[in-house]
Amino acid sequence: MISYQVVCIAKSSPENSIQCISEIGYYEAIYRPRVMISIHEAIRRIEANRLAFYVATYFGCAFIEVVRPEDGTPYLRSCPDHSQTDNLLTLALLDNVS
């Protein structure tokens, strides 16, 4: 399975909530500009075992997993590591997306 480092996020709302992340950005190749995909597309690719995404951290890398709450919309979060915050929320934030 191919894995890509997520380098930025876009949010649909200015709230500081992981559920508000609407897109993730990564570099597919050295010569290709940053690729932005929707959270729905990222979830689809992860669950189909086509791609894996991760966030680089001080301790190495934290892979991104799909969370499916019983009473809500699925979302992405990084697997827990030694930090107290979700590593996705520490990435560069692009302008809000409507």
Give me the long-range contacts of 19-26 (CB less than 8 A, separation at least 24).
19/72, 19/73, 19/75, 21/75, 21/76, 21/88, 22/97, 23/94, 23/97, 24/53, 24/64, 24/76, 24/88, 25/94, 26/53
Enclosing H/E stretch for 47: helix 39-47
In single-letter form, the type of residue at position 1 comes to M
Written as six digits, the tokens of 11 are: 């949010």
Q: What residue segments make up the domains of the chain, in order of their start?
A: 2-93
The Cα–Cα gap between 11 and 16 comes to 9
> What is the full per-residue pLDDT of the chain (98 aa) written as tens digits?
789 999 999 988 766 566 688 999 998 877 777 899 999 999 999 999 988 999 988 878 889 999 999 988 899 998 877 766 788 888 888 764 43
pLDDT at 86: 81
Written as six digits, the tokens of 16 are: 């500081």
